[in-house]
Every structure is written in C-alpha cells, then in structure tokens.
Amino acid sequence: MFGIKLLYATKKFVGFTRKGLMTMFFMQVAALLAVYLSAMVLLIYMKKDISIANFAWGGGVLVLTLYTFFSSGTYDQREVLVTSLITLWAVRMIVHLYCRYTGKDPRFTTWRTEGGSKALAVHIFYIFGPQLLLLLIMSVPSIIVNSGVQPNLELLDFIGLGLWVIGFCCEALGDYQLYMFTKNPSNSHKIMRYGLWRYTRHPNYFGEVVMWWGMFLIAYSAPGGIFALISPVTITILLLFVTGIPLVERALENNPEFQEYKRKTSAFFPWFPGK
C-alpha cells in the first residue's frame, strides 16, 4: 500500500521485505502525526483555548492525505480526484475557522481551563484521543484510494462527485452567510434565519455530511472501498447526535428567538419553514 508495491518491485529495495517496507511507512506516518498533534497541543495550551482543536482534525486529514498521495507514486485519476477534493475541503474549512476564530466557541465553554499541569493533561488527552481517532477515521477514504493502482473513474464516481459538490456548496455558502451575519454588530444575540438558514438550522452540518457520503461513493470503486463507509457514518452520528447539533443548540436553549426558530425550521434536512 501507499506505493509499497512500487518500491518492492524495484531492485533498490530488493533487500527489504514487504512487511519491512510497510513498517517503515507506518513509522513515518506515526512520526508525522506525533509532530503535528504535539504542535496543536502546545498551541492550545499557550492560548488556553481548546476550541483550537477544531483545526486539528481537518489539518491532520489534509496532511495524511497529501503524504499518502505523494507516497503512492501512481497518481491515478481517482487518487487525484479524492486528494484534490479533500485539499479543497480542508483549506476552505481552515480559512473559515481562522476568519471566525474568537476563542469563544460555545461548544467548548465547559472545557476551558486556566493553565497548569491539569489543563495540559486535558489538552493532550483530547488531541491524542478523540481528535486523533477522528482524524484517522476521516482519512480512511484517501488512505484506501491512495493505496495503489486504481481502476478508471466510473459512473458511481461522478455521482459521488456531484453529491460532494452539492455538500460543499451548502457548507461553504451556509458558513459564509452566517459569518457575514455575525460580523454585523446589530445582529448581536440574534438568530440567523436567512438564506440557507431559512430552510435548515444547520446547513453547514448538512453540507459536511453530504460531502462525506459523496466521498464514500468515489472511494467505493477502489479496492477495499467499502471500508470507507466508516467516514460518512461517523461524521453523520457525531454531527447529528454528539458534538454538532446537540452542543450548539444546548448553548442556545435559553434564547426565546431560537426556540421560535427551532419550532419552525428543520433541524438538518433543508425544508420549507413551518407556519
């Protein structure tokens, strides 16, 4: 995998076993992730803001995707497509998070700590625990696709690409509309109810989920592609039932305007607002 078969086929690596090459590769990946995640822990500790972890998994998926892509040495159509889409997804998300970063993410208000060894331990656990696990799970499609020679693109790939584009547009537009809304001081403490937010309370989460289901359809035709199913299933469960919608709405539950908005507007799937 990851170009190992190409290395193994050359005389230069004739003295190495396939198992040895795989071990060497995974050691390199482990070292790369250790450096990257350690830097995130240090940044979180210095800023005393664990919401910076939002950057960790997206950037980590990008790092791992690019590494496996260039390590494969094959650059097939599906590899180029998946790597390009994940790069676009990660860069847009990181830029958006940076633009809206205030250190006051309502989902992490109960996680804030002032400093000291206890805070450092919490940060290390969260980054090298849940964030590392999520990073690896969401990297499965690119790992599978970049693991070797791929068949040419098929109809299912283009269906997946279309689904991905729809999801990307929903997420990007929803994030942009919310960002412009919150930049206006007159909208302080108000609820965004316009644009895509008129039809769903979480167009960005809807778009994120749709993107990963599209990514799964693209990866499905690759050898072992069925295992990419873990990525959309995981992100769907997290955003709908764990860290996404529940945490955001819990932070707004005492807002009367939000309660009215919640009563009239679909939580996830876009639909016409109720009366």
pLDDT tens across 10-39, in order?
434 444 555 666 677 778 888 888 999 999
Instruction: Specify whether 157 is located in the same domain as 105.
Output: no
The reported pTM is 0.86
Give me the phi and psi of 254, to 5 degrees please.
Answer: -95, 5
Q: Which of 10-19, 99-108, 260-269 has the lowest mean pLDDT?
A: 10-19
| Radius of gyration (C-alpha) of the chain in whole angstroms | 21
User: Is there a single domain that holds both residue 95 and residue 31?
Assistant: yes
- Answer yes or no: do 119 and 139 share one domain: yes
Given 150, 174, 192, which residue is the final one in a domain? 150
Residue 2 has pLDDT above 80, yes or no: no
Query: Is the same domain home to 205 and 137?
Result: no
What's the domain count of the chain? 2
pLDDT for residue 82: 97
Give the Cα separation of 76 and 80 in Å (integer).
6
Q: Could you tell me the pLDDT band of residue 46, with boundaries at 50, 70 and 90?
A: confident
Cα separation, 79 vs 88, whole angstroms: 14
Q: Which of 120, 150, 180 is the last residue of a domain?
A: 150
Mean pLDDT of the chain: 86
Answer yes or no: do 6 and 124 share one domain. Answer: yes
CB atoms under 10 Å from CB of 44, counted, come to 23
Spatial distance between the Cα atoms of 41 and 38, rounded to a whole number of angstroms = 5
89 shares a domain with 100: yes
Cα-Cα-Cα-Cα dihedral sign, residues 92, 90, 245, 267: positive
User: Of 117, 150, 183, at which residue does a domain stop?
Assistant: 150
Kind plus residue range of the DSSP H or E element containing 21: helix 18-47
Regarding whether 144 and 58 lie in a shared domain, the answer is yes
Tell me how far apart the alpha carbons of residues 215 and 168 are, in angstroms, rounded to a whole number.
Answer: 11
Whether residues 172 and 197 share a domain: the answer is yes
pLDDT per position as a tens digit, 154-210: 999 999 999 999 999 999 999 999 999 999 999 988 999 999 999 999 999 999 999
Judge if 120 and 233 occupy the same domain: no
Shared domain check, 70 and 46 = yes
Shared domain for 171 and 50, answered yes or no, is no
- Parent domain of 44: 1-150
Question: Are 3 and 113 members of one domain?
Answer: yes
